[in-house]
Structure 1
Amino acid sequence: MKEIIVNNDMKISQVVAGCMRVADANLTGHQFLTFVEECMEMGITTFDHAPVYGGYTCEKIFGDAVLRVRPQLRKKMQIVTKTGIVLKGKDGNKTIRYESSKKEIQKEIESSLRNLGTDYIDLLLVHRPDILADPQETADALDQLVQEGKVLHLGVSNFMPSQIAALQSYMKNPISINQMEFSVKTTENFTNGVMDDALIRRMPLMAWSPLGGGSVFSGEDKQSVRLRAKLQEIAEDYHTSIDTIMYSWLFRHPVKIAAITGTLNIERVKKAVEALEITLSYDEWYQILEASRGYCVP
């Protein structure tokens, strides 16, 4: 398994196991533990969480099924979780909101630690930019968590370069990763400054929804039809599947991108791992970009 260095001293696996759908999978605790162990046997040591996943249930499922049963696995894995989204109905809220106040950050991290069954988080991300956030308050809360040893590294999710720069200017600790949506279907973040900012900062990225929500496999919209045909053509040349080619397309970029799988089917996870062994040519990469956009580069 290829690894990506974060903030000079932490390694994450380039394929990350996403835990957002754990609550919907109807797996027994033993079945989920088996899935996690099979991931780790393939070298996938990084697991992506958020308090709001599964309506505030997924972190506890992971803690109960994995770390409370196999506590020895903790030192062999990296846990990523997030802060800053509050769902409708939580504490009487009438709508979903983003909140990066010190009070909310502290409350969420304590809940995550308790639910996951751990005393530290390897990587904490601010889940979404909070329009009302006082940047100094947010920065102080994040830095305090690092000082207390509850969090080892900090990052953001769904932040544009200017938003990263603004928050970083108030922080003592570095923002070491940005988690964004990247896929053959969603290519905007390749050309809107996100990639350039990552290169300038020598900062890796994480890709959520790296398969574009799955519509490439069966969607009848024009983009999906174009992509499916091109991906199938290239996949046949490599004797592999189109989802493996979709992952390899992301891994080809000079920015180190870790892809978050969204499946609990171990066979589909293997397709992401297989992509690490494929290096697309320039021509193949741009053919896929052209199929996605529907036009060639100018």
Structure 2
Amino acid sequence: MNVLITGYFNDDSKQRVVQSFPHDWQIHIIEPQLIEQFIGDAEVLIPEHIQVNEALLDQAQSLKLVQTGAGYDNVDIEACTKRGIWVSNAAGVNANAVAEHIMALILNHYKNISYLDRFMKHKGDETKLSYTGGELSGLTIGTIGYGAIGSRVGKFAQAFNMKVLAYDNNPSLSSDGVELVDLDILLAHSDIVTINIFLNEETRNLVDRTFLSKMKSNAVLVNTARGPIVCEPDLIEALKNGVIGGACLDVFTEEPLSLDSELRSLDNVTLTPHTAGMPDGMKFHETRYRFFVSNINRVMGNEPPQNNLNQI
């Protein structure tokens, strides 16, 4: 089995990823710009930072499966289906990891952990320490999307004695004590707004100037879903002008995040490098790779993969 993985991995991560597959499989981990050199022999493609489109698929003569993480906005599912190529995502596999990361970002923001850590390590004068913090108890958190991740965030938040609002276009969801509301009500009443939806043409740039203006002036936006759901220039403007209180971001319009991005210089922003779903180390999550191996074995055995997004 020839498995091709694209993305940016350090050497330690590459080693951990390769070791998660059977030893007799060929595993190639390459940077995205080298895709054309390897795609012709690949039977399985795990794509990051590339578009799986008609042009690429025309070169993929041996491809049987495109396996993504949670998101699949970079894959032309129709084009894959026409060629008899399965497409599967791993939605829900790392939901707990992402939900924990969301809560960690929120706690960091309200408890000023990053600021206090830097203060202590830089040997600041503790008698002159001044900062604004807060408690989560009594705050309202609104999750846009109440699927595998959003529902876990809701449970975690309830443990902190927070009120939970949720907006989701699936009317049959079980709310478990969470109040399902429309989007405008969620934005108007939430102290924290967390994005837990897929990227598609309906959600692209959902978080724009109008969206942000409907949030509380001290509210915090959390995005661990996909960068293009947020219009970054509008968010930066809102953060600089006090339209909202802050943001916690794990994903960005372009990744890796540019070293020149204004987001890196704003004091009311917490940034992590798209690692919310990777608790075991950079670019690795053991449970996700076990899922990948299981799905590949299903395709090798002429079975449809789990979470398949097309019908062949």
Normalising by structure 1, we get a TM-score of 0.31
Higher-helix-fraction structure: 1
